Amino acid sequence: MNAIALLIGLGPLIGWGFFPTIASKIGGRPANQIIGATFGTFVCALILALVQGTPLPTGASLFWSIVSGIGWASAQIITFYSFTLIGSSRAMPITTAFQLLGASLWGVFALGDWPSTTDKIIGFVALVLIIIGAWMTTWNEHKSAESSSKLKKAVIVLLIGEIGYWAYSAAPQAAHIDGMQSFLPQSIGMCIVAIVYGIYLGIKDKSEKPPLLEAVSYKQMISGVFFAFAALTYLISAQPNMNGLATGFLLSQTSVVLATLTGIWMLHQTKTRKEMIVTVFGLILIVGAAALTVIV
């Protein structure tokens, strides 16, 4: 892996690291957050496509790129909901572990990443270490029946959401489409989900203002800019001539470090001293395991 590929592979560290914290900081319901995030991503993707002169894909490539965006937005609604249950600093490591299992295994077995036996050994050791590290960041010193119930509920919904994240990662690779070319149609798929979800909630709940008409939805476009940066660098990194899906995805998940720490510090999602120590060790495991993939 060369230096440029590694640098691009770590781009999501900034984008996805700040994305959940900024979305939580701006506030609103999950519907407001998904509308703003997807609209902000679409604007960035459209500007990039116009500046670069990137043509819109056609046929199967267009279809699978839109499906990819639909998968992400559907999963992200669930993730935003999990934030309301256990906070972003605990939810992000859980969804990270699930996404690693889904996307990385797809990359290895379906797309041929980590081709040699040595590559597979190093890669799977890294997977195990990252999952252990992610689990450590969720450890709670003083468990209560309520907190345990919320954690179980969050784990279940995030596991369901993994289906959408898997589609987001795997669909463009299955269609053999360039990341730059898939970015705009992906954002279109994201917006479709957000608009349909916003209209549905507006019709269903007459007691609240429709999310598409709330100002906070459009303030959330700031979070969409951060997501767009992360998504673009990830899509480029995941290409076979860069890092490949499995390694590119693992590198991108170092964003859980920043997402966890900013959630604790900026959103005041407090942890006890012991919880913080365990969390830090968990984050060190994640970073160390991701570094293993550099030699794959």
Phi, psi of 44 (to 5 degrees): -65, -45
E strand or H helix that includes residue 104: none
> Does pLDDT of 96 surpass 70?
yes
Q: Quote the CA–CA distance of 237 and 274 in Å, as a whole number.
A: 36
What backbone phi and psi angles, to 5 degrees, belong to 17? -65, -40
pLDDT confidence tier of residue 295, bands split at 50, 70 and 90? low
pLDDT for res 200: 94
Query: What are phi and psi for residue 130, nearest 5 degrees?
Result: -65, -40
Q: Is the pLDDT of residue 110 over 80?
A: no
In sequence order, the 6+-apart residues with CB closer than 8 A to the CB of 168 are: 68, 69, 71, 72, 75, 186
pLDDT tens-place string over residues 62-88: 999 999 999 999 999 999 999 999 999
Band (245; pLDDT cuts 50, 70, 90): low
pLDDT in tens, 206-229: 888 999 999 999 999 999 999 999
Q: Mean pLDDT of all residues in the chain?
A: 87
pLDDT confidence band for 138 (50 / 70 / 90): confident
Q: Which of 216, 97, 72 is nearest to 154 (CA)?
A: 97
- CA 2 – CA 7 distance, rounded (Å): 9
Span 32-63, pLDDT tens digits = 999 999 999 999 999 999 998 988 888 989 99
E strand or H helix that includes residue 285 = helix 273-292
Letter for the amino acid at 5? Answer: A
